[in-house]
């Protein structure tokens, strides 16, 4: 697995530092909300699976506030795809409460690329009438669609290249790498060739 890495883009120490900073931004915005409404603060977190599970796990331990966690499964990069194939919510939506009325909702995703995933999820959740709806991503790719997409918190802006590690996968692998890295081109080419040979490539 280590041999497949081209280079480290963001190392684990930088990630840990930045996660703490983003968490304190989130906390101060939430406290401002609570003050305005004179309510006791509680939030509903919606981490998008699978890519955000490590980021969400680290982030929530820096959010000292009462919270509910609703995991939501969304897919857009099946198998060896390295560009979006359109987002799809995979869960039966009945898993979410029928209404989010009065709740402060924070959606957490791993990476903002085409924006299809967050657009779909935000639209779905906004229709459930939350008191506030914010979005937080670990990474944002520096491509035009992503840079204009409205998102509340971004931990890192990165070049428009395919990355894995710290929850992000290629073909379901590499999520356990502690750093955010790029893969060698041959590794991606080989996986795509293997998939073609097995006749499983999606069109």
Taking the complex as a whole, the smallest distance from the CB of residue 11 to Mg ion amounts, in Å, to 22
Rank residues 51 and 130 by Cβ distance to Mg ion and give the closer one: 51
Q: What is the C-alpha separation between 181 and 197, in angstroms, rounded? A: 27
Crossing angle for the helix pair 12-37 and 53-60, to the nearest 10 degrees: 60
Instruction: Compute the least distance from the CB of residue 91 to ligand IMP, in Å.
Output: 15
Alpha carbon of 170 to those of 48, 71, 194: distances in Å? Answer: 17, 21, 14
Are 140 and 111 in contact, with CB atoms under 8 Å apart? Answer: yes
Given 4, 109, 110, 113, the catalytic residue: 113
Nearest CB to Mg ion, comparing residues 51 and 115: 51
Of ligand IMP, Mg ion, none, which one sits near residue 77, judging by CB under 5 to 8 A according to partner kind?
A: ligand IMP
Q: Is 160 a known active-site residue? A: no
Footprint of ligand IMP (CB under 6 A): 51, 76-77, 84, 87, 109-117, 162-164, 168-169
Residue nearest to Mg ion according to CB distances in the complex: 51
Buried b / exposed e across 133-153, counting CB within 10 Å, b at 16+?
bbbbbbbbbeeeebeebebbb
Partner touching 43 among Mg ion, ligand IMP, none, CB below 5 to 8 Å by kind = none
SS3 category, 122: helix
Per residue, the 3-state secondary structure of 157-191, as one string, reads EECCCCEEECCECECCECCCCCCEEEECHHHHHHH
Name which of 30 and 114 has its Cβ closer to Mg ion. 114
Report the residue number, 108 or 133, with the smaller CB distance to ligand IMP: 108
**HSE-CB for 32 with a 13 A CA cutoff:** 7
> Which residues here bind Mg ion, judged by CB under 5 A?
51
For the bound state, the minimum distance from the C-beta of residue 164 to ligand IMP, rounded and expressed in Å, comes to 6
Q: Closest approach of Cβ 110 to ligand IMP, in Å?
A: 5
> What residues are annotated to the active site?
113
């Amino acid at each position: 697995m280590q041999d497949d890495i081209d280079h480290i883009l963001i190392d684990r120490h930088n990630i840990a530092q930045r996660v703490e900073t983003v968490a304190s931004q989130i906390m101060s915005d939430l406290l401002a909300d609570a003050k305005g409404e004179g309510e006791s603060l509680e939030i509903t977190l919606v981490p998008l699976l699978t890519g955000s599970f490590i980021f969400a796990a680290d982030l929530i331990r820096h959010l000292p506030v009462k919270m509910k966690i609703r995991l939501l499964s969304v897919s857009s990069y099946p198998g060896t795809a390295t560009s979006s194939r359109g987002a799809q919510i995979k869960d039966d939506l009945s898993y979410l409460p029928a209404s989010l009325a009065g709740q402060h909702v924070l959606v957490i995703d791993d990476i903002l690329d085409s924006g299809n995933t967050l657009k779909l999820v935000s639209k779905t959740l906004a229709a459930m009438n939350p008191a506030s709806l914010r979005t937080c991503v670990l990474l944002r790719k520096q491509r035009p669609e992503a840079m204009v997409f409205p998102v509340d918190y971004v931990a890192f802006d990165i070049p428009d290249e395919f990355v894995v590690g710290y929850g992000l996968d290629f073909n379901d692998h590499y999520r356990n790498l502690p750093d955010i890295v790029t893969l060698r081109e041959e590794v991606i080419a080989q996986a795509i060739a293997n998939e073609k040979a097995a006749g499983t490539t999606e069109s």
